[in-house]
Amino acid sequence: MPAFLKYQKIPLLFGLLLSLFYLSFAYDLDRGDFTKLILLYTACFLISYKLIEIGKSNFLLLGGIAIGLRLLFLPAIPNLSQDFYRFIWDGRMLLQGFNPYLTTPESFMIAQEYDIVHQSRTLVQGMGALNASNYTNYPPINQFLFGIAAFLSGKSITTSVVVLRVIIILADIGILIYGRKLLQKLKLPEYQVFWYVLNPFIIIEMTGNLHFESVMLFFLVMALYLLLCRRWIWSSIFFAFSISVKLIPLMLLPLAFQFLLSDRSSVFRYGQLLHRPQLIIKRIPRLIAFYGLTLGVVVVSFFPFLEGQFYDNFGASVALWFQKFEFNASIYYIIRWIGFQTIGWNIIADVGKILPLIVTGIILVISFFRKNSDALAMISAMLLSISVYFLLSTTVHPWYIATPLLLGIFTRYRFPMLWSLMVFLSYSAYGNDGFKEHFGLIALEYLVVIGLAIYEMSYPKRRPIF
């Protein structure tokens, strides 16, 4: 033991410093104190970067530190997000035998049905009026996990938080294990998984604030790993699980098309399609099985909830993110400004219908006209597509960046890592005087991130910057 301490004293010292900063983050931080928030976060980011640089040869040590830092948050009530109150509400609704997609928390308050969900007033007050007045948009596997938390926690909000947090920590451990395996498959350095697992963005937003992107991404990593192992059936099932946690991976499905046409002996060149259609024909069963099973499992996961006004309610909830909500956007804010100057009002209702079509078109072009037939190219295409989606979105909450961040560690691109640092500037909107976005900081965030992305794409043969 003394020898271990002697040779690992600097990484352990960094781990101790991170522990102190994360304890302050978890138990002594108000979201309105942006100065303290950004200083703590920047310090955690820089220390984590140096920790990975110094300790990258000791996988077990870094893995142990990553898990230990997460456990510090275990009983902490999230202080940067209110969403967990809705998770608890949905879980308790499900446990009581109600379909969480059919009603809003606000409707129970109006009807004064306070006893159906225990601590209903506390939960509704905690989630806020905006959340309480809208239908849930969390897919079935998410609802199932909320239900598990409700079953195990009884009537305690704190215990619910602990159960939800344990689920997320287990998902991150899964990403650590299978992310490493995926990096080995891609012949990339194993330590790159720590750019995700030890990233303070992930520790704070997932473990700290209880966002379930980690669960979604665990299933996605499993799907990609199994895809590279040519285990098509299991890959499609895990892809479906990922979609049934969050809908985001649905847009990544077309990007696997070319890879599904390839085989172990030769990499299929997409340009051969017009001249050698037999390459496509003999793999049609594989394509049908993969896409059919993926979409089929997703549909089946919704079966227990398909009643009443489910379609209208769920569709309306998803549409809010395109046609009503606005936060930390980039290109959309420029379009909105042009709309104010030329028309005189907010054009989100119209633009919100057009932008998803543009994103869909771009993803289809990338899927079928960019060379994505090898694994690295496919994952890079997924990263490019999800980044374009967020650049054209009306709402980009910080935790959304978890998806490009994870995909980025399996590529040569590092702009998602920089994005995971810069996105915390968006928390400047939550001041003590109320909500107000600071467009100068948003502009800085996107100028820096887009600048690095353009640089990395302009010089594809240069070594990654870190």
Burial class (CB in 10 A: 0-12, 13-18, 19+), 136: buried
pLDDT (tens digit, 9 = 90+) per residue, 287-335? Answer: 899 999 999 999 999 999 999 899 999 999 988 888 888 999 999 999 9
Task: Report the 10 Å Cβ neighbour count for 52.
Answer: 21
- Position 270 scores a pLDDT of 53
Strand partners, 430: 435
**Amino acid residing at 210:** L
pLDDT in tens, 332-383: 999 999 999 988 888 888 898 899 999 999 999 999 998 888 999 999 999 9
pTM: 0.95
For a pLDDT cut of 70, what percent of the chain falls above it? 94
Q: Which letter does DSSP use for residue 33 in this model?
A: -
pLDDT tier, 269 (very low <50, low <70, confident <90, very high otherwise): low
Half-sphere exposure of 6 (CA within 13 A, CB side): 3
What letter represents residue 213's amino acid? Answer: E
Q: Are the C-beta atoms of 171 and 215 separated by less than 8 Å?
A: yes
Inter-CA distances, 347 with 130, 320, 429, Å: 21, 14, 22
Q: Is the dihedral of CA 279, 280, 285, 291 positive or negative?
A: positive
Backbone angles phi, psi at 412, to 5 degrees: -90, 0
Model pLDDT for residues 82-116, shown as the tens digit of each residue: 999 999 999 999 999 999 999 999 998 888 777 78
Instruction: Give residue limits of the domains in the chain.
Output: 2-458
